[in-house]
Structure 1
Amino acid sequence: MPTSEDLPTLTTEAQPVLCPSRLESLRTNAPVCRVRTPAGDEAWLVTRHAEVKQLLHDQRLGRSHPNPPAAPKYINNSMVDMLISADAEAAREMHAKSRSVLTPQFSARRINALRPRIEALTTAMVEDFATRERPADLHAHFSLPYALRILYELIGVPEADQGRCAALLASMGQVGSGADPSSGPAALFGLLTEIAAGKRAEPDDDVISRLCETGVPDVEVGALAAALMFAGLEAVATHIDLGVVLLSVHPEQRDRVLRDPAQLAGMVEEVLRSAKRAGATLPRYASEDIEIGGVTIRAGELVLLDFALANFDDRAFATPEEFDVTRSPNQHLTFGHGIWHCIGAPLARLELSTAFTTLFTRLPGLRPAVPSDELVTRAGKLVGGLDELPVTW
Structure 2
Amino acid sequence: MLDLIKIRRDLHQIPEIGMEEVETQKYLLKVIHEIIANKAFIELKTWETGILVLLHGSQATKTIGWRTDIDGLPVEEQTGLPFASKNGRMHACGHDIHMTTALGLLEVLGQTQPKENLLFLFQPAEENVAGGKQMYDGNAFGDWLPDEFYGLHVRPELKVGDIATNTHTLFAGTCEVELTFKGKGGHAAFPHNANDALVAAAYFVTQVQTIVSRNVDPLGSAVVTFGQMHAGTTNNIIAETAFLHGTIRALTLDVLEAVKERLETIAKGVAGSFNQEVEIKLTQGGYLPVENNPQLAHELMTFFENETAEVNLIDIEPAMTGEDFGYLLSKIPGVMFWLGIDSPAPLHSNKMTPDEKVLDFAVSNIAKFLKIKTED
Same fold by TM-score, threshold 0.5 exceeded?
Answer: no
Greater share of residues in strand: 2
TM-score bracket, normalised by the shorter chain, equals under 0.3
Q: TM-score, normalised by structure 1?
A: 0.25
Larger relative contact order, structure 1 or 2 (CA cutoff 8 Å, min sep 6): 1
Q: Rg bigger for which structure? A: 2
